[in-house]
């Protein structure tokens, strides 16, 4: 349904744009930095930031703004109302216990994957991954699965702004090579990543399908390893495919 400008609140949209400028690489920002990142003029960015500070969503030391944990209420409320995490979490817990490795389910948001459920059997990354965590789609197994489900022009657009950063020496950053890999993922029905998002991390992902066969999320298993990543596929692909079929019965 199309919406006109008079049906929407420009101020709310600007405030959300300001919040989205904060991230792992930009935890503390000045008004000028936020204005540049959001595309807003400095005066508007300043009003948005001060409004967030007054509401308890940001702290300000007179120069730098930082978000407060109160912002997490927005994401937590979203996850709490989504049926997908509630459906998949018990299945992830069981699978993780059975195979002794961490398992996750994520969805695609722009050029990132967002974790909506996770069963961490052991820590396999330097960062703690929890529901709500984000990682780039182009270099993650779940991201590759979700991008492969899109029409190619849209998938290419969602790789993110160029040049794509290399997170490790193994990260594939050439868009054409990534698109070739997405075509193979589409054919194989799974994605295998070997140390592209973090050194020492290998992961395998398959799509999560609803009852109509539409890709609604991605499911993966991740483990520490620097050997032949095909061993990960041999060990765990049948288990992931079994859970894929099981979840499809529950997702209408």
Give 34-70 pLDDT, tens digit per residue: 999 999 999 999 999 999 999 999 999 999 999 887 8
pLDDT of residue 69: 77
pLDDT of residue 195: 93
Tokens coding 51: 């409004």
List Cβ neighbours of 157 (8 Å cut-off, separation of 6 or more): none
CATH for 5-73?
A: 1.10.10.10
pLDDT of residue 204: 97
Tell me, rounded to whole angstroms, the distance of Cα 84 from its chain centroid.
15
pLDDT of residue 252: 76
The structural architecture, per CATH, of the domain 82-248 is 2-Layer Sandwich (3.30)
Element (H, E) at 208: strand 201-209
pLDDT of residue 228: 77
Query: How far is the C-alpha of 96 from the C-alpha of 118, rounded, in Å?
Result: 9
**How far separated are the first and last CA of the chain, in Å rounded?**
23
The string of pLDDT tens digits covering residues 123-149 is 666 667 888 888 999 999 999 999 999
DSSP string, 88-152: HHHHHHHHHHHHTSEEEEEEEETTEEEEEEEE-SS--SSSPP-TT-EEESTTSHHHHHHHHTS-H
pLDDT of residue 224: 85
Determine contact, residues 127/88, Cβ cutoff 8 Å: no
pLDDT of residue 80: 57
pLDDT of residue 79: 58
pLDDT of residue 233: 93
Give the number of residues written for the chain.
Answer: 252
CA distances from 252 to 80, 206, 214, 247 (A): 19, 18, 10, 10
Instruction: Please state the domain extents for the chain.
Output: 5-73, 82-248
Residues of the chain with pLDDT under 70: 1-5, 72, 75-81, 122-127, 226
The candidate with the shortest Cα–Cα distance to 222, out of 208, 238, 209, 236, is: 236
pLDDT of residue 123: 63
């Amino acid at each position: 349904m199309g919406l006109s400008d008079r049906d929407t609140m420009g101020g709310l949209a600007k405030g959300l744009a300001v919040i989205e400028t904060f991230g792992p690489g930009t935890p503390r920002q000045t008004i000028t930095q936020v204005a540049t990142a959001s595309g807003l003029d400095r005066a508007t960015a300043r009003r948005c930031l001060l409004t967030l500070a007054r509401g308890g969503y940001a702290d300000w030391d007179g120069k730098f703004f930082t978000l407060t944990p109160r912002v997490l209420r927005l994401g937590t409320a979203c996850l709490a109302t989504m049926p997908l995490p509630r459906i998949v979490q018990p299945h992830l817990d069981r699978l993780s216990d059975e195979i002794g490795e961490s398992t996750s389910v994520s969805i695609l948001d722009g050029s990132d994957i967002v974790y909506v459920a996770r069963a961490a059997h052991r820590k396999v990354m330097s960062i703690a991954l929890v529901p709500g965590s984000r990682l780039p789609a182009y270099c993650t197994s779940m991201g590759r699965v979700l991008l492969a489900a899109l029409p190619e022009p849209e998938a290419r657009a969602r790789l993110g702004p160029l040049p794509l950063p290399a997170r490790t020496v193994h990260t594939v950053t050439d868009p054409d090579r990534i698109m070739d890999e997405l075509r193979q993922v589409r054919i194989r029905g799974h994605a295998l990543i070997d140390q592209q998002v973090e050194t020492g991390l290998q992961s395998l992902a398959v799509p999560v399908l609803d009852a109509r066969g539409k890709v609604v999320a991605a499911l993966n298993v991740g483990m520490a390893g620097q050997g032949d990543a095909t061993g990960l596929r041999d060990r765990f692909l049948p288990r992931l495919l079994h859970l894929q079929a099981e979840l499809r019965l529950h997702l209408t």
